[in-house]
Structure 1
Amino acid sequence: MQRLNVLKTWLATRFPQTDIQVEFAAADADFRRYFRAIFPDGTSRIVMDAPPEKMNTDAYVHAREVFAMVHVPAILDRDREQGLMLLEDLGKVTFLAALEHDTRREVHKMLLLEAIDTLIEIQSGSREGVLPPYDEALLARELNLFPEWFCDKEIGKPLNFAQRKVWGEMSRVLLDAALAQPKVYVHRDYIVRNLMLTAGKPGVLDFQDAVYGPIAYDLVSLLRDAFIEWDEAFVLDLVIRYWEKARAAGLPVPDSIDDFYRAFEWMGVQRHLKVAGIFARLYHRDGKEKYRPEIPRFIKYLKRTTRRYGELAPLYGLLVELVGKDETDAELQSSYPVLGFKG
């Protein structure tokens, strides 16, 4: 309530003698909250509330400049000391809401292809040294959220000596694979909840953690989502379409779709492990229950991928030791005869 009063007072100083209605709009997994300021003429703005003792909005401002080639919210005003920012309002309809409202496959494909076109536009502007590197240290910190928060706290099974050895070996394999990928701008949370349905190009939100790193990362974020899931054949089709568009745009994807799909899947393993750890941390450390029910989806993603590749078999075995077998393990392993993928 105190922060909301600070926000309203700030608006009043910026727009004196104006009757502004303020309503809650959204909250992030961190400490940021968003409010919609509705003006007497019916127009609206978004106010970001980022408590300065907990958040630094400099990264948001910088990433917004870097991603200016796509539709990101304009910054209309900013009070750095108070952690307040007035932003362009991109509307109320996220891609996730649109996809849940209309479940037709062709609609999902159309919207996801729009998201892919926007992603390629972001990646095509990539330059080294502009954003922080998605380096080994950061990738490793993210990976280790899994044993720290999922294993220890969520399921109460700290890794034993033998399991830690497997974890270390598999972490090295995943890190090497991620670091070997060509590097581009990475939004780092390019999901349908962070894309807005607008009259023109998709609006892009929540980009403040952007880095320079593996080219497959944002695509796997988009297509292996926390809150909505598509079948394997549908995902494969969209991966191929991305690969074709990326090649046409001159992006540094592999010449072989087999190689790119492997990179996509292995990058997914790193991200799924990280997200399972983050969602567990949000619940056990921060008391945020919203994301916890989605953890099983990421365990399913992990099992499907790790059982598909022989090199990742030890990680699949570790997952089974930790959470047991379920219907995921009983499913027939997906096969791709055209591309020749093998487990």
Structure 2
Amino acid sequence: MERSPSTRQEAAAPAAGAAAEQDGRRAGLTAWTRARLRQMLPNAPELGKLEIVSGDASHRRYFRARPTAETSYIAVDAPPQKEDSRPFVEVTRLLRAASLRAPELHAADLEQGYMLLEDFGDQLYLPRLLQAQESGDFETAGRLYRAAIDSLLDLQQHVDPRELPAYDKTELTREMSLFPDWFCRRWLQVEPNAEQMEIIDGCFDFLCGAALAQTRVAVHRDYHSRNLMLPRAGADRPGILDFQDAVQGACSYDLVSLLRDCYIKWDRRRLEEWIGYYLEGARSRGIVSGVSDAQFRRDFDLMGLQRHLKVLGIFCRLTIRDHKAGFLADIPLVMEYFTEVAGEYREMEPIQSWFRRELEPRAREKLRSVN
């Protein structure tokens, strides 16, 4: 049924209001950035317009400020009523103190939600990895993954996890609850019955127990190809982005986020090679000890299942609540990871069976209808 003009106007009103708010914040950020740059670069010409760089899976927006042809910065708009930027500032301090390549924070006004950062450029890991995968350039892919793993080992060795919030059972379960709430109920319109909720709860308890039994380290929490920048000329480490949600958690978490990336998949041979590279480094640095290869691989797999349940919920929430439908395209790979890995563990059989029988076919049909 076609909506009446008044109904369409009512539906458009919130969108128009949001656009006006964004325009106002962009103007405020531009004025604030100009003032900061006048202090930092008194001889530079007046800054023109800010260039939109990107948004992310949050309410933050990123702009490039070019005060001169040779100089650029990233201006961040993080509305304080929607984004608490204090963790970003604190984790930036921790990472840079550990000599990790986090962007330098040049200025911040947390009351307004404005920040001015070092500009790492536009060269994300993901496009280069996809190019390497398509062309069979596994030497380049291996070099990039080894560099990312080396930075991950630096994070785990040199950042004190006690300075970060605990990734405890409450938080792990809260994340996984996004799966029944947003993937099942809100997106698929599937209301799990009592038996299915018992299966879900049993799965959550099992995966939480596996995560909490692992060695505790500093965890980036979103360490993957869209949050890593290619090393600059003369550098051997990637730039690291989007680290504000860092926690004290399981040593396998960031590795599985990197190697079972929601945006690119590698064959088992490459996966085993890079897991082995991590383990060799983690053992030599004293990060992991007394854990066999087989036990670590199990920890890695189960941690990935926890993450991918969470991600299925997050991608659906981004689509429905935040109107970021582009994440739907990544759901098939996340489902593929989940069903493949869950099928290797008998404890996961009840939820894997239900997922493959009912949820996955419904999700694929829904994706076809959207496309």
Q: TM-score, normalised by structure 1?
A: 0.92
Q: After the TM superposition, which segments of 4 or more aligned residues of structure 1 sit over 6 Å from their partners?
A: none
Q: Assess if the C-alpha contact under 8 Å between 2:76 and 2:115 holds in 1.
A: yes
Q: Assess if the C-alpha contact under 8 Å between 1:46 and 1:87 holds in 2.
A: yes
Deviation at 1:128, TM superposition (A): 4.2
Counterparts of 1:60 and 1:48, CA distance in 2: 11
User: Which residue of 74, 87, 98 maps to 1:46?
Assistant: 74
1:137 and 2:170 correspond:
yes
User: Which residue of 131, 136, 144 maps to 1:101?
Assistant: 131
RMSD: 1.7
SS at structure 1 position matched to 2:191:
coil
Q: Deviations over 1:179-225 (max 9, x none)?
A: 11110000000011111113212111100000000110000000111
Question: Who is 1:238 aligned against?
Answer: 274
User: Which residue of 72, 83, 107 maps to 2:102?
Assistant: 72
Deviation at 1:109, TM superposition (A): 1.2
1:307 and 2:339 correspond:
no
Q: Assess if the C-alpha contact under 8 Å between 1:185 and 1:210 holds in 2.
A: yes
Question: Who is 2:31 aligned against?
Answer: 9
| Amino acid across the alignment from 1:56 | D
Question: Who is 1:183 aligned against?
Answer: 216
Question: Who is 1:121 aligned against?
Answer: 154
Deviates more, 1:175-184 or 1:196-205: 196-205
| Amino acid across the alignment from 2:320 | H
Q: Assess if the C-alpha contact under 8 Å between 1:95 and 1:196 holds in 2.
A: yes
| Amino acid across the alignment from 1:58 | R
Structure 1 residue ranges without an equivalent (≥5)? 327-343
Question: Who is 2:286 aligned against?
Answer: 250
Counterparts of 2:348 and 2:186, CA distance in 1: 24
1:270 and 2:306 correspond:
yes
Q: Assess if the C-alpha contact under 8 Å between 2:216 and 2:251 holds in 1.
A: yes
Counterparts of 2:84 and 2:360, CA distance in 1: 41
Q: Assess if the C-alpha contact under 8 Å between 2:335 and 2:360 holds in 1.
A: no
User: Which residue of 254, 258, 261 maps to 2:297?
Assistant: 261
Counterparts of 1:83 and 1:132, CA distance in 2: 22
C-alpha change, 1:42 and 1:157, in structure 2 (3 Å) is: same
Question: Who is 2:198 aligned against?
Answer: 165
Q: Assess if the C-alpha contact under 8 Å between 1:166 and 1:318 holds in 2.
A: no
Percent identity over paired residues: 39
Structure 2 residue ranges without an equivalent (≥5)? 1-22, 39-44, 363-371
1:56 and 2:68 correspond:
no
Counterparts of 1:148 and 1:222, CA distance in 2: 26
User: Which residue of 39, 42, 55 maps to 1:27?
Assistant: 55
Q: Assess if the C-alpha contact under 8 Å between 1:254 and 1:260 holds in 2.
A: no
| Amino acid across the alignment from 1:231 | D
1:280 and 2:309 correspond:
no
Q: Assess if the C-alpha contact under 8 Å between 1:91 and 1:198 holds in 2.
A: no
Deviation at 1:41, TM superposition (A): 3.9
Q: Deviations over 1:24-45 (max 9, x none)?
A: 1121111001101012242100
Question: Who is 1:18 aligned against?
Answer: 46
Question: Who is 1:329 aligned against?
Answer: none
Deviation at 1:253, TM superposition (A): 4.7
Counterparts of 1:232 and 1:158, CA distance in 2: 35
Counterparts of 1:38 and 1:208, CA distance in 2: 25
Q: Deviations over 1:128-172 (max 9, x none)?
A: 420000011100000110000001122111111111111111111
Number of residue pairs matched by the alignment: 327
C-alpha change, 1:129 and 1:73, in structure 2 (3 Å) is: same
Would you tell me which structure has more helix in proportion to its own residues? 2
| Amino acid across the alignment from 1:144 | S
| Amino acid across the alignment from 1:120 | L
